[in-house]
Structure formats: C-alpha cells, structure tokens
Homo-oligomer: A and B are copies of this chain.
Amino acid sequence: MDNQLSLCAQIKTADPIRYTPAGLPVLTLWLSHESWQNELGERYLAKMEMEAKLMGEAALSWQHRQGCMVRVSGFLAQKGRRYPRPVLHIQQIYEI
C-alpha cells in the first residue's frame, strides 16, 4: 500500500549515531521544510519540521551534514506505540 513521502528540506540537527542491538548504525535527523504550495488555486506557505531516521552505511556518511539542503524520500511510520507523531524512514537521500 502506498506510503511514500518526497521532501526537500534542510538538515536542521543530527543526533549522535546510535546502534541497534544487531550493531546497525542509526542516525536521527531533524528536517526543516518551507515551500509555497497550491491549495485550491491559492498559494499556501507550507512550513514543517519532521524527525527522520537513516539506517546503515548512509547513517555514517550523513552524521556531520547539519545545515545541508537535501531531497529525501521514504515512508512514514509513527515513532512508537505511545508516540503517534510520524517519523520519516529515509530510503533515499541526495544533496541539492
């Protein structure tokens, strides 16, 4: 079932790398987005900050890239059972 977000954003902050029990590196990024969008023919200034998660080798290469503008895509899932806020699970990330 469809669950795909494509977003251009700035890496506002990056948490320190942590590791899963299986030893996989995990990087939490906080993305900041601002763009003009179209809503019923009117311009709408969409602003948003979103938590994002990057796993594996990519986590290591993106850990020190605060301030960088990126295009990311991936799926959304709630942070945890008691934390309904959606987190973006990054599947692709490019600098722009």
Which residues of A are at the interface with B, using a C-beta cutoff of 8 A? Answer: 1-8, 24, 33-35, 37-40, 44, 46-50, 55-56, 71, 75-78, 84-86, 89, 91
Please, which residues of chain B bring their CB within 8 A of the CB of A48? 3, 76-78, 84, 86
Q: In the complex, A40 Cα to B92 Cα: how many Å?
A: 11
Indicate the member of A44, A48, A91 with the most B CB atoms within 10 Å.
A48
Q: Is the CB of B37 within 8 A of A49?
A: no
- Kindly report how many copies of this chain are found in the complex they form together: 2
Q: Is the CB of B1 within 8 A of A35?
A: yes
Please, which residues of chain B bring their CB within 8 A of the CB of A5? 4-6, 76
Known interface pairs A3-B48, A40-B55, A48-B78; 7 further A-B residue pairs with C-beta atoms within 8 A, sorted by A's residue number: A1-B35, A4-B6, A33-B76, A37-B75, A46-B76, A46-B77, A49-B78
> What would be 6 A-B contacts, judged by CB atoms less than 8 Å apart?
A1-B8, A1-B35, A5-B5, A40-B56, A47-B78, A50-B76
